[in-house]
C-alpha cells in the first residue's frame, strides 16, 4: 500500500510473523490504525528524513550523463568502495576478469587489487574524511577508546566518535581512527588520543565525553588515560562500558558464592574433547542412544511490560552461541493466543523438526572465556543439554583408560549437587546475558532498559531472599539488605 511503501516489512520472530518498520527498527502491531498512527508520528517522520540524508554504498558517486570515460571512473570508484566495505582486495582480480569477460572487456571495468587499494587510500579516504570533518565541525562529541594487540603483535588504539550529525539529524556513532602505539600505558594512550584530536582539527572545547573499558590503565584514579585527559579537559565526563562492568560483576559473584569445581568442570569437559577425534567419536555413539535433554526455559527477569521485547532482544545473536546446528529446546513453550490451534500446531511441528535435527549429532561443548565471562551461560546450557550423555561417557572412559581427568569428571557428573547448581545458574546467567545485549543496542529506549534491569533485579532477589522480606521491603530497600544475614533462604 502506498502509505506504507518503503518502510513496512514482514519479520518472523519466535515463529510468529510481525510488522516491522525498517526505518525506526521497531516491531509494530499489525493493525491498520496502528500502522497509520506510526507512519504519521513525529519520530517516524524525523527518521525518514535522516535515512534520506544517509547514502548507501550503491548511492555514492551516482551521477547521470557524462562521457564514457567519466562513467568508467565512477564505476571503478563504486567497485573500490564496495570492495573496501564488503570483501578482500585480493578478490578484485578474479572479479574484474569475470566482469570483463561478461560485459564488454576492459571498457566495462579495469580495476585490479593494486589500483583498487590506491583508489581507496588516495581518493575515497580523503573524500570521506572531509565529509566526516565537515559534519563533526562545531558539534560536541565523545570518544570510545579501546586498546588491543593484533596477530602481528602490534599494539593498536581504536577510536570511535559519537556526535549529533547535522546531515542525518540524529546522534551517530562512527569509526574515527586506528593508530599504532609503542607503549600501552597511560602516557602512550594519552599521546595517541591527543594526536588524533590534532590531526582531525576538532575544537578541544567540544570534547565532552570519554568511554572505555574497566582496565586500570583506562580508568585508574591517579595515573590513567581518563585522569590525564581530565587534566587537560576539566569538564570531560568519563563512563565505563556497562557491558564490561556487568560481565565482571557476574564473574566476581560467581567466584565468591559458587564452588570452584563448577568452573573446573566446564573447562575440563571442553578440554577433554577439544583435541581428540577418538573421544569425540566415542561420545557420538553414546549421544545417538541418549540424545538431547529437554530444559524448561526458566529465564528470570521477564519483560517489564509484557510485549516480549525485553527477553527477546537480539535472540539470534544470543542463540548463536547456544546452538550449533539450530537444534535445541529453547522455544520457550507455546503461548495461549486465543485458540490459534493452527499456529500452535505449526510451531510444535517446527520445534519437533529442530529437535530431530539436533538428535543427529552432539552439540559442541563450548569453552569458558576469560575476557568475555558471560559466555559461561552458553557453556552451562550445552552441558545441561548433554548431561546424561556426558555422565555415561566419562563413566565408560574412566573404566577403560583409568585416567585421572576421566575419574574426576565422572565423579563430578555423578554428584547431583553439581547438576542442581548448573540448573540454578542457567536461567540467571542466560537472562543476564540478554540484559547485557540491551546495552549493546542502538535503538533501545533507556527508560525501557532501566525497567528491564529493575525487573531482573527483583526476580534475582526473589530467588535468594525470603518471601516475607520481599513483601516487606521496596526495591530500593532491598539494595541495602545484608544478604549474608537471616534474610536469605
320-344 residue pLDDT tens:
333 334 333 333 333 334 444 444 4
Write out the three cell numbers for 10: 514482514
Domain boundaries, position 163: 138-240
Predicted local distance difference test score (pLDDT) of residue 413: 93
Please check whether residue 449 lies inside any domain of the structure.
no
Whole-angstrom Cα distance, residue 472 to residue 84? 60
Residue 176 and residue 83 share a domain: no
Residue 56 confidence class, pLDDT cut points 50, 70, 90: low
Residue 271 confidence class, pLDDT cut points 50, 70, 90: very high
pLDDT digits (tens, 9 = 90+) for 189-232: 999 999 998 888 888 888 999 999 888 889 888 888 999 999 88
Residue 406 and residue 282 share a domain: yes
Write out the three cell numbers for 419: 547438576
Residue 188 and residue 100 share a domain: no
Q: How much of the chain exceeds pLDDT 90, in percent?
A: 17
The residue with greater pLDDT, 65 or 75, is 75
Residue 195: how many CA atoms within 13 Å on its side-chain side? 13
Residue 178 and residue 75 share a domain: no
In the predicted model, what is the mean pLDDT of residues 37-60? 69
pLDDT digits (tens, 9 = 90+) for 447-471: 888 888 888 888 888 888 888 888 8
Residue 311 and residue 427 share a domain: yes
Residue 234 and residue 333 share a domain: no
Contacts (Cβ under 8 Å, ≥6 apart) of 192: 157, 179, 181
Letter string b/e over residues 198-223, b meaning 16 or more CB atoms within 10 A of that residue's CB = eebebeeebbebbbbbeeebbbeeee
- Domain limit, last residue, from 223, 240, 257: 240
Global pTM reads 0.62
Bridge partner list, 238:
210
Residue 84 and residue 41 share a domain: no
pLDDT digits (tens, 9 = 90+) for 281-306: 988 888 888 877 766 544 444 444 44
In the predicted model, what is the mean pLDDT of residues 132-147? 90
In the predicted model, what is the mean pLDDT of residues 39-65? 65
pLDDT digits (tens, 9 = 90+) for 342-369: 444 454 544 554 444 444 677 788 888 8
In the predicted model, what is the mean pLDDT of residues 80-109? 86
Write out the three cell numbers for 237: 565526563
Pairing of strands 207-212, 237-240: parallel
Contacts (Cβ under 8 Å, ≥6 apart) of 167: 53, 54, 135
Count of structural domains, the chain? 4
Please check whether residue 6 lies inside any domain of the structure.
yes
Please check whether residue 419 lies inside any domain of the structure.
yes
Predicted local distance difference test score (pLDDT) of residue 54: 52
Amino acid at each position: 500500500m502506498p502509505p506504507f511503501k518503503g518502510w513496512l516489512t514482514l519479520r518472523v520472530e519466535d515463529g510468529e510473523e510481525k510488522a516491522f518498520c525498517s526505518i525506526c527498527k521497531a516491531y509494530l502491531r499489525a493493525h491498520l490504525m496502528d500502522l497509520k498512527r506510526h507512519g504519521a508520528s513525529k519520530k517516524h517522520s524525523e527518521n525518514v528524513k535522516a535515512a534520506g540524508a544517509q547514502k548507501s554504498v550503491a548511492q555514492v558517486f551516482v551521477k547521470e550523463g557524462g562521457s564514457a570515460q567519466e562513467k568508467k571512473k565512477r564505476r571503478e570508484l563504486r567497485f573500490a568502495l564496495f570492495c573496501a566495505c564488503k570483501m578482500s582486495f585480493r578478490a578484485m582480480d578474479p572479479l574484474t576478469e569475470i566482469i570483463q569477460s561478461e560485459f564488454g572487456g576492459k571498457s566495462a571495468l579495469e580495476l585490479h587489487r593494486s589500483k583498487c587499494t590506491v583508489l581507496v587510500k588516495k581518493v575515497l579516504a580523503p573524500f570521506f574524511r572531509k565529509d566526516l570533518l565537515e559534519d563533526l565541525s562545531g558539534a560536541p562529541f565523545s570518544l570510545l577508546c579501546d586498546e588491543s594487540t593484533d596477530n602481528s603483535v602490534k599494539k593498536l588504539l581504536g577510536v570511535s566518535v559519537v556526535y549529533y550529525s547535522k546531515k542525518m539529524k540524529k546522534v551517530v556513532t562512527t569509526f574515527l581512527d586506528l593508530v599504532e602505539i609503542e607503549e600501552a600505558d597511560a602516557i602512550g594512550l594519552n599521546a595517541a588520543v591527543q594526536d588524533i584530536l590534532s590531526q582531525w582539527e576538532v575544537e578541544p572545547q567540544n570534547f565532552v565525553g570519554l568511554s572505555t573499558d574497566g582496565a586500570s590503565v583506562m580508568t585508574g584514579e591517579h595515573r590513567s588515560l581518563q585522569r590525564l585527559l581530565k587534566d587537560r579537559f576539566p569538564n570531560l565526563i568519563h563512563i565505563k562500558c556497562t557491558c564490561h562492568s556487568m560481565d565482571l560483576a557476574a564473574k566476581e559473584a560467581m567466584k565468591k558464592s559458587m564452588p570452584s569445581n563448577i568452573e573446573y568442570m566446564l573447562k575440563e569437559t571442553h578440554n577433554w574433547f577439544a583435541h581428540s577425534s577418538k573421544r569425540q567419536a566415542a561420545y557420538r555413539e553414546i549421544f545417538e542412544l541418549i540424545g538431547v535433554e529437554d530444559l524448561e526455559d526458566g529465564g528470570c527477569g521477564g519483560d517489564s511490560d509484557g510485549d516480549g521485547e525485553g527477553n527477546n532482544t537480539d535472540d539470534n545473536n544470543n542463540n548463536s552461541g547456544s546452538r550449533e546446528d539450530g537444534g535445541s529446546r529453547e522455544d520457550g513453550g507455546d503461548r495461549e493466543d486465543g485458540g490459534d490451534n493452527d499456529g500452535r500446531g505449526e510451531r510444535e511441528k517446527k520445534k519437533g523438526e529442530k529437535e530431530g535435527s539436533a538428535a543427529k549429532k552432539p552439540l559442541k561443548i563450548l569453552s569458558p572465556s576469560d575476557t568475555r565471562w558471560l559466555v559461561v551461560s552458553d557453556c552451562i546450557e550445552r552441558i545441561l543439554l548433554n548431561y546424561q550423555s556426558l555422565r555415561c561417557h566419562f563413566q565408560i572412559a574412566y573404566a577403560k583408560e583409568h585416567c585421572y581427568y576421566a575419574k574426576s569428571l565422572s565423579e563430578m557428573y555423578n554428584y547431583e549437587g553439581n547438576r542442581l547448581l548448573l540448573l540454578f545458574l542457567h536461567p540467571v546467567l542466560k537472562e543476564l546475558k540478554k540484559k547485557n545485549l540491551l546495552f549493546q543496542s542502538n535503538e533501545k529506549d533507556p527508560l525501557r532498559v532501566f525497567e528491564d534491569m529493575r525487573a531482573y533485579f527483583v526476580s534475582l532477589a526473589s530467588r535468594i531472599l525470603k518471601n516475607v522480606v520481599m513483601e516487606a521491603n521496596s526495591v530500593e530497600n532491598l539494595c541495602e539488605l545484608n544478604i549474608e544475614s537471616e534474610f536469605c533462604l
